[in-house]
A and B are shown apart, each in its own frame.
Chain A
Amino acid sequence: MRGRKLSRRHVLQGSAALAVGTVFASAVRAQAPEPVAITPALVEAAKKEGRLIFYSSMDLPVGEKLGKAFEAVFPGVTIQIERSGSERLFQRINQEFASNIRAADIVNSSDASHFISWKKNGWLMPFVPEDVAKYFPENCRDPDGMFAISRMWLSSIAYNTNLVKPEDAPKSFADLLDVKWAGKMVKAHPAYSGTIMTATFQMVRELGWEYMEKLAKQRVMQVQSSTDPPKKLSLGERAVMADGNEYGIVLLKEAGQPVEPVYPTEGTPTISGPTGIFRTAQHPNAAKLFQAWLHTRETQQFFVDFSAQYSVHAQVQSKPGQRKISDIKLMKEDAEGVEKMTEEIKTRYARLFRV
Chain B
Amino acid sequence: MTTTTDNPKTRLDLTRPILWLFAAFMIVLIVLPLSWLMVFAFTDKARHPTLQNFVTLFTDPAFLDPLLTTAIIATTSAVICCLVAAPIGWLVSRTDMPGRQLIRALVTASFVTPPFLGAVAWELLAAPNSGMLNQLYRHLTGAEDPLFDIYSLTGLIFVISCYTFPFVFVLVANALDNMPGELEDASAILGGKAWTTARRVTIPLALPALVAGALIAFLQAMTLFGSPAILALPAGFHTMTTKIWSLFQYPPKLELAAAAAVPLLVLTILLLQGQKFLLGRRGYSVLGGKYGPPRPIEMGLWRWAALAFCLLVLLNPVFLPYFALLNAAFSPNATTLVTPSTATLHNVVFVFTELSSTQLALKNTVILGASTATIGTILALVVAYVTTRRVIASHRMLGFLATAPVAVPGIVLGVGLFLSYTRPPFVLYGTLWILLLAFLTINLPSAYQQLQAAFATIHPELEDASRILGATRLQSLRQITAPLLRTGVIATWCFIFIGVMRELSAAIVLFTSQTKVLSVLIYDLNESGDLAAISVLGIAMLVITFTVVLAVNRIPMFGGGAAARLRNG
B130 at interface, CB cutoff 8 A: yes
Complex contacts, A354 vs chain B, CB 8 Å:
62, 236-238
A237 at interface, CB cutoff 8 A: yes
Contact check, B249 vs A91: say whether CB atoms are below 8 A apart: yes
Known: A191-B249, A237-B127. A355 touches B238 (CB 8 A): yes
Contact check, A353 vs B250: say whether CB atoms are below 8 A apart: no
Contact check, B236 vs A353: say whether CB atoms are below 8 A apart: yes
Complex contacts, A98 vs chain B, CB 8 Å:
422
B236 CB to nearest chain A CB (Å): 5
B340 at interface, CB cutoff 8 A: no
B427 at interface, CB cutoff 8 A: yes
Select which of B129, B235, B354 is within 8 A of A64 by beta carbon: B354
Contact check, A191 vs B246: say whether CB atoms are below 8 A apart: yes
Select which of B62, B246, B418, B528 is within 8 A of A83 by beta carbon: B528
A227 at interface, CB cutoff 8 A: yes
B374 at interface, CB cutoff 8 A: no
A350 at interface, CB cutoff 8 A: yes
A228 at interface, CB cutoff 8 A: yes
Chain A: interface size category: 35 or more
Complex contacts, A191 vs chain B, CB 8 Å:
246, 249
A80 at interface, CB cutoff 8 A: yes
Contact check, A350 vs B360: say whether CB atoms are below 8 A apart: no
Contact check, A91 vs B430: say whether CB atoms are below 8 A apart: no
The 0/1 profile, CB within 8 Å of A marked 1, for residues 226-257 of chain B is 00000011111110001000101111100000
Contact check, B513 vs A53: say whether CB atoms are below 8 A apart: yes
Q: Report B332-381 residues with CB < 8 Å from chain A CB.
A: 333-335, 350, 354-357, 360
CB < 8 Å A-B pair total: 131
Contact check, A101 vs B355: say whether CB atoms are below 8 A apart: no
Complex contacts, B512 vs chain A, CB 8 Å:
92, 96, 101, 103
Chain B: interface size category: 35 or more
**Please, how many angstroms separate the alpha-carbon atoms of A87 and B238 in the complex?**
19
Known: A101-B429, A221-B151. A355 touches B233 (CB 8 A): yes
A317 at interface, CB cutoff 8 A: no
Give the secondary structure class of A's interface.
mixed
Q: Report A60-86 residues with CB < 8 Å from chain B CB.
A: 60-61, 64-65, 67-68, 78-85
A293 at interface, CB cutoff 8 A: no
B524 at interface, CB cutoff 8 A: yes
Q: Report A217-261 residues with CB < 8 Å from chain B CB.
A: 219-225, 227-232, 234-238, 257
Complex contacts, A351 vs chain B, CB 8 Å:
62
Complex contacts, A55 vs chain B, CB 8 Å:
513
**Please, how many angstroms separate the alpha-carbon atoms of A127 and B422 in the complex?**
31
**Please, how many angstroms separate the alpha-carbon atoms of A336 and B412 in the complex?**
33
Contact check, A225 vs B528: say whether CB atoms are below 8 A apart: yes
Contact check, A235 vs B151: say whether CB atoms are below 8 A apart: no
Complex contacts, A82 vs chain B, CB 8 Å:
357, 513, 516
B529 at interface, CB cutoff 8 A: yes
Q: Report B505-538 residues with CB < 8 Å from chain A CB.
A: 512-514, 516, 524-525, 527-531, 533
**Please, how many angstroms separate the alpha-carbon atoms of A184 and B427 in the complex?**
48
Known: A99-B427, A101-B430. A228 touches B528 (CB 8 A): yes
Select which of A60, A99, A238 is within 8 A of B429 by beta carbon: A99
Q: Which residue of the partner chain A has the closest CB to B234? A: A221
Q: Report A341-355 residues with CB < 8 Å from chain B CB.
A: 343, 346, 350-351, 353-355
Contact check, A103 vs B513: say whether CB atoms are below 8 A apart: yes
**Please, how many angstroms separate the alpha-carbon atoms of A228 and B530 in the complex?**
8
A192 at interface, CB cutoff 8 A: yes
B30 CB to nearest chain A CB (Å): 22
**Please, how many angstroms separate the alpha-carbon atoms of A10 and B335 in the complex?**
43
A90 at interface, CB cutoff 8 A: yes
Contact check, B356 vs A81: say whether CB atoms are below 8 A apart: yes
With most chain B CB atoms within 10 A of its CB, the pick from A61, A91, A99, A191 is A99
Contact check, A222 vs B233: say whether CB atoms are below 8 A apart: yes
Select which of B130, B236, B242, B250 is within 8 A of A219 by beta carbon: B236
Q: Report A68-124 residues with CB < 8 Å from chain B CB.
A: 68, 78-85, 87-88, 90-92, 94-96, 98-101, 103-104
Known: A191-B246, A228-B528. A235 touches B130 (CB 8 A): yes
Q: Report B425-448 residues with CB < 8 Å from chain A CB.
A: 427, 429-430
A94 CB to nearest chain B CB (Å): 6
Complex contacts, B128 vs chain A, CB 8 Å:
237
**Please, how many angstroms separate the alpha-carbon atoms of A84 and B333 in the complex?**
22
21 CB contacts below 8 A, A to B, read: A60-B525, A60-B530, A61-B350, A64-B350, A80-B357, A81-B356, A83-B528, A85-B528, A88-B249, A91-B249, A94-B250, A99-B427, A189-B233, A219-B236, A223-B529, A230-B529, A235-B333, A235-B334, A238-B129, A355-B232, A355-B242
Q: For the A-B complex with A81-B357, A221-B234, A224-B528 known, give 7 more contacts whose Cβ atoms are closer than 8 Å.
A: A59-B528, A61-B530, A67-B356, A68-B354, A95-B418, A103-B512, A236-B129
